[in-house]
Amino acid sequence: MKKYSFYAIFLILAFIILLASSMYAKNEPEQAGSVKISPGMELKQVGTVNRLVPIGTKVVDKNGLVTTESMGEYVARRFIETGKRFDTIENTLARVKTTLEGLQQEIDRLQKLSELLLQRINSPQAEEGQ
């Protein structure tokens, strides 16, 4: 009887370890070493399907048919997005440039005013001293 209980406990533990390791492998394929992800790539999961695609690629599940956008669509979309970002940056830089030019003009005006004030302050003292 002791012999059978030892085998039963051993089989139960082995089954639990096997079940836990298979669940871990399904949830973490990149950690388990089964998938090597190159720089610029990402692993996207749609349903039960894993796809290794360039970062930012759209993966769509249409009634069980998993598709990714073509390389041409991906490149065109990313190019358009990048162009929009550059336009935003250029507009922001133009506003910053205008603001800095206005600030520089104000600094120049204040400098001239301070020089005039210093001259007025110093000129009565020079007259009193004579």
- From the list 32, 22, 57, 25, the residue with the least C-alpha distance to 43 is 57
**Are the beta carbons of 13 and 5 closer than 8 angstroms?**
no
What is the predicted pLDDT for the residue at 81?
93
What is the predicted pLDDT for the residue at 108?
96
**Are the beta carbons of 45 and 61 closer than 8 angstroms?**
no
Q: Which of 40-44, 49-53, 70-74, 118-122 has the lowest mean pLDDT?
A: 49-53
**Domain residues of the chain, as ranges?**
1-35, 37-69, 71-130
Query: Average pLDDT of 48-71?
Result: 81
Q: Which of 15-29, 42-56, 90-104 has the lowest mean pLDDT?
A: 15-29
What is the predicted pLDDT for the residue at 44?
83
The pTM (predicted TM-score) of the whole model is 0.49
Please give the C-alpha separations between residue 9 and each of 4, 5, 14, 29, 52, in angstroms, as whole numbers.
9, 6, 9, 30, 41
